[in-house]
Amino acid sequence: MDYLLSRSKWFFIMSIFHFIQLPSLAKIGRFPTNVPLILFIIISFPFLATGVSLAETKPLVKGQYLPNLPFTDSLPKDERTYLGLSSGKKFSLKDIRCSVIIIEVFNTYCTSCPRNIPVIKEVYSRSKEDPKFQGKIKIIGIAAGNTREEILSYKKTHGISYPIFSDLNFTLHKALGNPRVPYTILIKKNSRGKDKIIYTHQGIIDSTEPLLEIVGKHLN
Nearest Cα to Cα of residue 185 among 138, 219, 217: 138
What is the C-alpha separation between 147 and 165, in angstroms, rounded? 9
What is the C-alpha separation between 112 and 182, in angstroms, rounded? 7
Instruction: Read off the amino acid at residue 166.
Output: S
Do both 160 and 189 map to the same domain?
Answer: yes
Do both 73 and 49 map to the same domain?
Answer: no
Q: Print pLDDT tens along the chain (220 aa).
A: 333 333 333 334 444 444 445 555 555 665 555 555 444 444 444 433 333 333 457 898 899 998 889 998 888 999 999 998 877 667 888 889 899 999 999 999 999 999 999 999 999 999 989 998 988 999 999 999 999 999 999 999 999 999 999 999 999 999 999 999 999 999 998 877 689 999 999 999 999 998 999 988 888 6
Task: Identify whether 60 is part of a domain.
Answer: no
Q: How many CB atoms lie within 10 A of CB 103?
A: 22
pTM for this model (two decimals): 0.76
Do both 193 and 121 map to the same domain?
Answer: yes
Domain span at 7: 2-55
Spatial contact of 165 and 79, defined as CB atoms under 8 Å apart: no
Asked, as a colleague might, if the bond just before 182 is cis with ω within 30 of 0, I would say yes
Do both 20 and 38 map to the same domain?
Answer: yes
